[in-house]
Structure 1
């Protein structure tokens, strides 16, 4: 840990800084704590669906903007057939279900990329209002993950974050969490507007994660075998 979270290639897992509320690029994210930080690193979870309902009451004019595309940076981890950014609304629906995709850091990072239109003042205000609502005590749950604790979240209805932390000097005692991204067999259909991010929006589909430069035939064949075992389809890679 110790990298710059706000850099063009910054990632939260390698930084000690406080993170923005965000979703990961998978249907489900699981975090298991192995080592706890001596100070800080509090886990924060908030309800993106409840935040949508609250914003509808307070600022429906700005909420409408969040249903329109924003541009998200891929943080220099795009696959050869992917661009450095992709469009995605913060909120959209599929089969009557509201879904959210939010990562302020990646939206702001995309502003550095050629071809991305600048955020309008109204878009920035909408982002600020959403962030304010997400942090309200009635929507947010906070906890410290202790060794052995596991946290499992849907990325389509919840957002997660953590506070800044300081770490132990000894390598074997440093804060360590194991993360798993899951595409469950009963995964829901996603909004069509999610396709640039997930490649597949079909229900029961192996999708998500970071394709990047590491995909090879061995990994693709493994995905196909696992998908066949569970009766799932596989997103095009």
Structure 2
């Protein structure tokens, strides 16, 4: 128990320094780069930070992030993590109702030889750069497509703002195509001109921001991300027949208090 408490306190210190007060990401290196070790690593980190959250209606706690030959332009249950395409900065759980996952982890089992670099943009840089009127609009409700993950009888969209507050801190939830597809449904009002203008302004900022951080996880590295604060994405990647990119992911509800 003492070792467990010490490990939780040590990781908590780094989480507060790098996630709460820093760039929103912490990378731990030097772990064995195989799937079993990766699953143990993400599960251990998750248990030290808080509680694991299911990532779909089936209750998956550790999900493989890899190219399944899909695209988020497709309807149905396809997710960003099922494709090799880049861009589309977003937050995890954008298809689900609030509260959003506080943290998500990524463990790199195999990295692509071409592409696949992570890209991140912090919510503080978003709010600082956008016009006040745009920020106000992004704090109003939007319909996000549920990607077919709703339970029987539930609505196919969830309604929530893009910018909000969670755990007493500024937060963001976003994936533009999920909003567009949510408002394209026949039983949902279309986006207003004001809403579309605000989303376009956010997309323009994402595409041009000098604050965008880019880096590529190496095999055997475990990254922890502040999912409330960071928009993230990746550059397009390409698999080789004998070497396919594979990351492992968990979602976390934090019990370690923010600083």
TM-score (norm 1): 0.72
> How many residue pairs are counted as aligned between the two chains?
183
Counterpart residue number, 2:249:
179
Counterpart residue number, 1:161:
233
What do you get for the CA RMSD once the two structures are aligned? 1.8
- Partners of 1:94 and 1:181 lie apart in 2 by 16
Alpha-carbon displacement from aligned partner over 1:171-194 (angstroms, at most 9, x marks no partner): xx2000001111121367xxxxxx
Matched, 1:62 2:137: no
Counterpart residue number, 2:190:
118
Counterpart residue number, 1:46:
121
Alpha-carbon displacement from aligned partner over 1:84-108 (angstroms, at most 9, x marks no partner): 1011111123575222111112111
Structure 1: which 5+ runs fail to align?
Answer: 189-237
Structure 2: which 5+ runs fail to align?
Answer: 1-66, 94-100
Alpha-carbon displacement from aligned partner over 1:173-231 (angstroms, at most 9, x marks no partner): 2000001111121367xxxxxxxxxxxxxxxxxxxxxxxxxxxxxxxxxxxxxxxxxxx
Please, which of 66, 70, 79 is the counterpart of residue 3 of structure 1?
70
8 Å contact from structure 2 (residues 102, 226) kept in 1: yes
8 Å contact from structure 1 (residues 23, 101) kept in 2: yes
CA 1:19/1:135 → structure 2, altered by over 3 Å: closer, same or farther?
A: closer
8 Å contact from structure 2 (residues 184, 190) kept in 1: no
Equivalent residue runs for 1:131-146 within 5 Å: 131-146=203-218
- Partners of 1:4 and 1:20 lie apart in 2 by 11
Q: Quote the offset at 1:127 in angstroms.
A: 1.0
> Moved runs in structure 1, 4+ residues, more than 6 A?
none
